[in-house]
Amino acid sequence: MKHITSILALLVLSVSGCANTTQTNQAPQTIQLNTLPMLMGTWRQAPPIEHNHQLYWLTASEQSGLQVWDQTGTLLGQFAGNTENSDIRVLANQHYVISTVERESGDTLLLELALPQGELTLVKRIRNPLAEVEALCLYQDQQHNIQLFSVDTLGDVQQRVVFNQQQQQFTDVAVRHFIGAPNIQSCVADDNQQTLYLVEENIGVWQYSANPERDASRTLISAVSPFGNIKGEVKHANLLANGNLLISAPEHNQLWLINPTNPDAAKAYSFVLPDGSTPKIENAVTTALNGKLLAGVYDDETGNSYQANIPLNPIKNNSSKTKNAVFLADKQTTPVSRFGDAADDPAIWINKHNTQQSLILGTNKKQGLMVYNLAGELKQSLDIGRVNNVDVRYGVSVNGQLMDIATASNRSNQHISIFSINPQTAQVALLSEIATDLSDIYGLCMYQSQQQTYVFVNDTNGRYQQYQLDLNKKITAKKVREFSLPSQPEGCVADDQHQLLYMGEEAMGIWQINAEPVQTDPQLIIKTNDTFVADVEGLGIYLLDGQRYLIASSQGNDSYAVFALDKNNQHIGSFTIEANIAAGIDGTSETDGLDITSIAIGSHYPDGLLVVQDGRNVMPTQPQNFKLINATQLKQQILHWLK
């Protein structure tokens, strides 16, 4: 949707005659190309590499393969092979990883480069069985793992982890794949901004999130004529340290400097060969050396690369990003059995006799209630309909006996489904169903006072009903209160001790109301904003040192916001859950429901457990599931935020 809007916007601009902004009329600044002997007869690319304030060149040629040169033209190292399309990242102090495609085999190669020796060693060969790789680029994620993007001739984009930072070793873990576009000529990733750029020859430069937990939608940031200012086809993207891009447009001898956050301010450069003639620049790969920007520039016309000094006039960044804390999941549940948006809301049941035998109940809104153990294995599937939200309470009198129970909102029949949980066998069983008079039952949570157990349910119009359960003799429930929020809520959580109910109105924020069935109005206590982004989804309360912290799924930016309930509901920070490569567990995104406990569960979770629904289960791509996060990470982060 996004990209269509951008093309339309650009089309409208050009039709109305406003597209030809000043930069096309301005003569592009000319950059002189200089000859270096070792860059003659190179093939496709000659990136310069800065290492300890010294300059090195990595050249590729059909006859000699990959070669590493020092500044004076001394050959340091070599790797025989017909390769192209290299990209580079730092591994550790003296070591670099280089990705490249081997033409004959079609394989992607990962090489380790040691500097200053210039030694090149093949460390990994990745087969590309489906189609030829067109573009290849490396990306260092927030945890410093090195990932590889490859785009093939079918437009399929593959993302994989190739170096595990934690274990300091090369690996090959498929993360996700998505359909990019046909005719992708090159790609480049901005590690700081977690952004991937794909250059589509006859369209322009597409921007994606490089984080697999973000939406795979794209934005066209720069377009070729007639949609935009760039004349002719675009070929290569090079990233500068400040996030600016250099995009080559060889047909018209243009190199565009573009700031993705401010694309209207783009500037064009052109090149001149040492003999004064005009080149056909395929690519310009830069490195910064002693404050100067240096490029290896490949000219398709002469088949040579040249050295060039690029004038440094960076275009200023328009965006500011706040950094979230990063947590890792350490377990995940079996994926649900249905594709699409199916998993929704979890509830943790703590087995007080043996906390290691605790359970996670998770709704599958296309099937029923799923029961998982702490290893994430599916133990039971109660196929009772489209259950949406689930919650748990302990020590409820059922026929005179104290039992633990779960309740779930069931959209198949507008009922509240009631389950018993047997602490001896850890078996969950459907006890009964209670009819409601809601037209479209949606969210649900439970509240337990000294005497009574209640269920709150709401419908999609914002209408709440509070039911008081009576599970003795006959399973019944009495509606004791009704109230409304302005628009659709879903996530809710009750603080039994303080007799308060917190409710997430998806578009607006978080409301609070007395959980006792008394006549009072709900109060809006937290509003959505730039960091706490609608939809507001799952809510949970974490206790630390006698203080209450409300954890809320900020679905619009794939993060979780933490509010100090006992400090005027102040936002103290946000976190994201990112991939745990060593454990083979992806991060989380677009979270609906969540549950959290501060109660120690075995020795593994001494500070409790957070369970969240994951809207995009990748690494590899599978139906949705729930992720388990050790709450020690949250505890330490809260203490850090409060310092």
505 binds Ca ion, rule: CB under 5 A: no
Q: How many helices (H) and strands (E) does the chain have?
A: 3, 49
Map residue 539 onto helix, strand or coil: strand
Q: Which residue, 340 or 606, has its beta carbon nearer to Ca ion?
A: 340
Alpha carbon distance 1, 539 (integer Å): 30
Give me the least distance between CB of 515 and Ca ion, in Å please: 16
Give me the least distance between CB of 208 and Ca ion, in Å please: 16
Q: Which of 200, 404, 586, 607 binds Ca ion (CB under 5 A)?
A: 586
Contact region with Ca ion (CB under 5 A), list: 54-62, 109-117, 564-572, 619-627: 619-627
Cα–Cα distances in angstroms (integers) from residue 309 to residues 49, 253, 259, 315, in the given order:
14, 16, 19, 17
490 binds Ca ion, rule: CB under 5 A: yes
Q: Which residue, 86 or 458, has its beta carbon nearer to Ca ion?
A: 458
Dihedral angle at the C-alpha atoms of 457, 510, 497, 470, nearest 10 degrees?
-10
Q: How is residue 172 written in tokens?
A: 């090959």
Q: Which residue, 283 or 364, has its beta carbon nearer to Ca ion?
A: 364
Q: Which residue, 200 or 595, has its beta carbon nearer to Ca ion?
A: 595
Give me the least distance between CB of 506 and Ca ion, in Å please: 5
Q: Which residue, 250 or 538, has its beta carbon nearer to Ca ion?
A: 538
Contact region with Ca ion (CB under 5 A), list: 188-196, 399-407, 414-422, 487-495: 487-495
Q: How many CB atoms lie within 10 A of CB 81?
A: 20
Q: How many residues does the chain have?
A: 643
What DSSP character marks residue 128?
-
341 binds Ca ion, rule: CB under 5 A: yes
433 binds Ca ion, rule: CB under 5 A: no
Q: Which residue, 102 or 490, has its beta carbon nearer to Ca ion?
A: 490
Beta bridge partners of 406: 392, 419
Q: Which residue, 415 or 616, has its beta carbon nearer to Ca ion?
A: 616
Q: How is residue 130 written in tokens?
A: 């489906």
Give me the least distance between CB of 344 and Ca ion, in Å please: 6
Give me the least distance between CB of 403 and Ca ion, in Å please: 19
Size of the site for Ca ion (CB under 5 A): 11
Alpha carbon distance 500, 515 (integer Å): 5
Q: Which residue, 233 or 490, has its beta carbon nearer to Ca ion?
A: 490
Sign of CA dihedral 124, 126, 132, 134: negative
Beta bridge partners of 254: 249
φ, ψ (nearest 5 deg) of residue 21 = -70, 170
Give me the least distance between CB of 234 and Ca ion, in Å please: 32
614 binds Ca ion, rule: CB under 5 A: yes
Classify burial at 15, counting beta carbons within 10 Å of its beta carbon; exposed 0-12, middle 13-18, buried 19 or more.
exposed
Contact region with Ca ion (CB under 5 A), list: 16-24, 74-82, 338-346, 365-373: 338-346
What DSSP character marks residue 496?
T
Q: Residue 93's Cα: distance from chain center in Å?
A: 28
Q: Which residue, 286 or 453, has its beta carbon nearer to Ca ion?
A: 453
Q: Which residue, 6 or 624, has its beta carbon nearer to Ca ion?
A: 624
Classify burial at 445, counting beta carbons within 10 Å of its beta carbon; exposed 0-12, middle 13-18, buried 19 or more.
buried
Beta bridge partners of 419: 406, 430
Give me the least distance between CB of 550 and Ca ion, in Å please: 14
Q: How is residue 626 written in tokens?
A: 């729930």
Contact region with Ca ion (CB under 5 A), list: 321-329, 486-494, 514-522, 544-552: 486-494
591 binds Ca ion, rule: CB under 5 A: no
Map residue 534 onto helix, strand or coil: coil
Q: How is residue 315 written in tokens?
A: 């275009």
Q: Which residue, 490 or 505, has its beta carbon nearer to Ca ion?
A: 490
Alpha carbon distance 307, 343 (integer Å): 55
Contact region with Ca ion (CB under 5 A), list: 28-36, 71-79, 85-93, 488-496: 488-496
Question: Among candidates 362, 375, 356, which has minimal Cα distance to 612?
Answer: 362
Contact region with Ca ion (CB under 5 A), list: 11-19, 82-90, 287-295, 389-397: 389-397
> By rule CB under 5 A, what string of x and - marks binding of each residue 344-373 to Ca ion?
-x-x--------------------------
Q: Which residue, 152 or 490, has its beta carbon nearer to Ca ion?
A: 490
617 binds Ca ion, rule: CB under 5 A: yes
> By rule CB under 5 A, what string of x and - marks binding of each residue 390-409 to Ca ion?
-x------------------
Alpha carbon distance 220, 206 (integer Å): 5
Contact region with Ca ion (CB under 5 A), list: 30-38, 173-181, 508-516, 583-591: 583-591
Give me the least distance between CB of 436 and Ca ion, in Å please: 18
Give me the least distance between CB of 491 and Ca ion, in Å please: 7
Contact region with Ca ion (CB under 5 A), list: 93-101, 139-147, 273-281, 588-596: 588-596
Contact region with Ca ion (CB under 5 A), list: 113-121, 135-143, 568-576, 612-620: 612-620
Contact region with Ca ion (CB under 5 A), list: 129-137, 323-331, 416-424, 618-626: 618-626
Max Cα distance, the chain (Å): 98
Question: Among candidates 257, 265, 321, 320, which has minimal Cα distance to 284?
Answer: 257
Cβ(108)–Cβ(100) under 8 Å?
yes
Q: Which residue, 576 or 630, has its beta carbon nearer to Ca ion?
A: 576
| DSSP character string of 428-443 | EEEEEEEE---SSEEE
Give me the least distance between CB of 314 and Ca ion, in Å please: 35
Amino acid at 621: T
592 binds Ca ion, rule: CB under 5 A: yes
Alpha carbon distance 151, 201 (integer Å): 13
Q: Which residue, 590 or 607, has its beta carbon nearer to Ca ion?
A: 590
Alpha carbon distance 575, 326 (integer Å): 6
First to last CA, the chain: 43
| Binding residues for Ca ion restricted to 147-176, rule: CB under 5 A | none
Q: Where are the beta strands (DSSP E) in 423-529?
A: 427-435, 441-448, 453-459, 463-470, 476-484, 489-495, 500-505, 509-514, 523-527
Q: Which residue, 180 or 504, has its beta carbon nearer to Ca ion?
A: 504
**Site residues (CB under 5 A) for Ca ion?**
341, 345, 347, 391, 490, 586, 592, 614, 616-617, 619
